């Protein structure tokens, strides 16, 4: 390994960074609203299957390739299979990072706006907040700048230490809020919607939404976990770490649902309200509890931090590419990519009412309305799934599942028969299932 590349200071360093990337708005903002739009419990059931059968094997594939090559996604593929078209998979990951970050920063900006409004005790009306162009662009820019400053200053010291304290706090706060939500009048109906599956509701839309959400939430399909895996030491147990990250991530998403749906039904709101869902429901929960403003401000602060550890990882992939492959300085890469990402994100920022064109634009194939929703489907869902498909073929067949397994077994000697099962999943099940699901999109 070259000297300028860092390594995680400890095994926990990796787990916190990778869990920090995975846990974010995907769990608390995206998971509940996508579940709400896709029938609740039937979606949750499908989601869990996608995480276990598809997400986890792809996670291990990314970690193996990253650790074996110690490179960014483009460089990693180039190392294993020089001069081939497979490099394009890495490039797709770099582009996807920019595209997801462009609208992710918009939503992350909302959490900052809500944090301030709770702190000063002036509740925001969601509809008018997101229709205010100045506020939208201000908060989006603010969040991008924070991300840029952290990524250019080096991730290890500050953010690692912060995340170690704040992530557990988020967990505790979630527990407290869940209790409040579950004890609201009429909460039970929400619990039923969330946990009692009506299997007849599982259709193609539910399946593709669940698969996309699994990749989004676990930060898979664009090389994030490959990049983070590249900082692992050879004697680290990548398998156990991958499992732990997936488990934490799924637990937090599950808890977010337990928080949102009981309250939502107690208030008689529509579960299919879309991207604004949690921002409309959460303030009502805070209103219904003592010290609500304080809890609200604290919750949105922790959510903003969770989002920050994810935006950092989104920016890190394109930055690592420009630093490693194009020999840019880190500072130049961070500011150039960050500024471009901000500009790409402006239409998303204006697409919830601030600008008529971006708010009403439609995308034929997928029945999505509004620029942000369309971006989220194309990049946050389709492109990650496509990336995961290509990566599983690359690792399973081009690099070779045996070589990948040998890499994983370094530091994980007990990955014996499970490892054989993993080979089968990554070579056959993952590619076939993802391919069939994506194919259906076009017919």
Binding interface with ligand PHE (CB under 6 A): 21-22, 24-27, 100, 216-217, 219, 222, 224, 310, 313-314
Q: Which helix (H) or strand (E) holds 363?
A: strand 362-363
Closest distance of CB 225 from ligand PHE, Å: 8
Rounded Cα distance, 241 and 268, in Å: 41
Rounded Cα distance, 285 and 107, in Å: 20
Closest distance of CB 107 from ligand PHE, Å: 9
- Residue 248 or 415: the one with the smaller Cβ distance to ligand PHE is 248
Closest distance of CB 316 from ligand PHE, Å: 9
DSSP letter assigned to residue 55: I
- Residue 267 or 344: the one with the smaller Cβ distance to ligand PHE is 344
- Residue 35 or 412: the one with the smaller Cβ distance to ligand PHE is 35
**Cα–Cα nearest to 258, from 323, 343, 200, 194:** 194
Contact 92, 387 (CB under 8 A): yes
Closest distance of CB 151 from ligand PHE, Å: 13
| Residue carrying the six token digits 């489907």 | 377
What is the radius of gyration, based on Cα positions, of the chain? Answer: 21
Q: Give bridge partners of residue 363 from the DSSP assignment.
A: 368
Phi, psi dihedrals of residue 362, rounded to the nearest 5°: -120, 155
Closest distance of CB 222 from ligand PHE, Å: 6
**Cα–Cα nearest to 411, from 8, 74, 90:** 8
DSSP notation for 108-172: HHHHHHHHHHHHTT-PPPHHHHHT-HHHHHHHHHHHHHHHHHHHHT-STHHHHHHHHHHHHHHHH
- Residue 321 or 415: the one with the smaller Cβ distance to ligand PHE is 321
Closest distance of CB 172 from ligand PHE, Å: 20
Closest distance of CB 219 from ligand PHE, Å: 4
- Residue 78 or 376: the one with the smaller Cβ distance to ligand PHE is 376
- Residue 169 or 432: the one with the smaller Cβ distance to ligand PHE is 169
Using DSSP, state whether 81 is helix, strand or coil.
coil
> Is 139 exposed, middle or buried, given 0-12, 13-18 or 19+ CB atoms closer than 10 A?
buried
Residue nearest to ligand PHE (CB): 26
Closest distance of CB 424 from ligand PHE, Å: 26
- Residue 150 or 405: the one with the smaller Cβ distance to ligand PHE is 150
> What percent of the chain is helix, strand and coil (3-state, nearest 5)?
80, 0, 20
Beta-carbon-side half-sphere exposure of residue 341 (alpha carbons within 13 Å): 35
- Residue 148 or 401: the one with the smaller Cβ distance to ligand PHE is 148
Closest distance of CB 61 from ligand PHE, Å: 15
- Residue 13 or 97: the one with the smaller Cβ distance to ligand PHE is 97
């Amino acid at each position: 390994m070259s000297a300028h590349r860092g390594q995680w200071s400890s095994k926990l360093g990796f787990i916190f960074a990778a869990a920090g990337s995975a846990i974010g708005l995907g769990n608390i903002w995206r998971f509940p609203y996508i579940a709400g739009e896709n029938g609740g419990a039937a979606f949750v059931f499908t989601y869990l299957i996608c995480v276990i059968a598809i997400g986890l094997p792809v996670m291990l594939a990314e970690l193996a390739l990253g650790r074996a090559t110690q490179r960014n996604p483009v460089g990693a593929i180039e190392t294993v299979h020089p001069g081939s078209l497979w490099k394009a998979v890495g490039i797709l990951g770099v582009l996807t990072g920019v595209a997801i970050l462009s609208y992710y920063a918009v939503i992350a900006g909302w959490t900052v706006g809500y944090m301030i409004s709770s702190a000063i005790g002036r509740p925001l009306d969601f509809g008018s907040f997101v229709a205010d162009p100045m506020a939208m662009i201000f908060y989006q820019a603010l969040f991008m700048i924070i991300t840029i400053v952290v990524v250019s200053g080096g991730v290890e010291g500050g953010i690692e230490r912060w995340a170690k304290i704040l992530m557990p706090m988020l967990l505790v706060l979630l527990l407290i809020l869940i209790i409040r939500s579950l004890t609201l009048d009429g909460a039970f109906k929400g619990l039923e919607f969330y946990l009692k599956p009506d299997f007849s509701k599982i259709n193609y839309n539910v399946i593709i939404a669940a698969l996309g959400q699994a990749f989004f939430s676990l930060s898979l399909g664009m090389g994030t976990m490959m990049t983070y895996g590249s900082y692992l030491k050879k004697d680290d147990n990548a398998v156990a770490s991958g499992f732990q990250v997936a488990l934490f991530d799924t637990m937090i998403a599950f808890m977010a649902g337990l928080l949102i749906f009981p309250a939502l039904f107690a208030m008689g709101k529509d579960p299919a309200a879309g991207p604004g869902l949690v921002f409309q429901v959460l303030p009502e929960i805070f209103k219904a509890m003592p010290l609500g403003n304080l809890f609200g401000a604290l919750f949105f602060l922790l959510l903003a931090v969770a989002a920050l550890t994810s935006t950092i990882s989104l920016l890190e992939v394109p930055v690592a590419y420009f630093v490693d492959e194009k020999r840019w300085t880190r500072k130049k890469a961070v500011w150039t990519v960050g500024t471009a990402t901000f500009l790409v994100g402006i239409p998303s920022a204006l697409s919830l009412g601030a600008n008529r064109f971006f708010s009403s634009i439609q995308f034929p194939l997928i029945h999505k309305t509004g620029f942000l929703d369309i971006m989220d489907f194309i990049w946050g869902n389709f492109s990650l799934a496509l990336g995961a498909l290509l990566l599983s073929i690359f690792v399973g067949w081009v690099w070779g599942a045996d070589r990948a397994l040998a890499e994983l077994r370094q530091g994980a000697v007990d990955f014996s028969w499970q490892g054989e099962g993993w080979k089968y999943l990554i070579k056959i099940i993952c590619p076939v299932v993802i391919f069939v699901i994506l194919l259906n999109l076009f017919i």
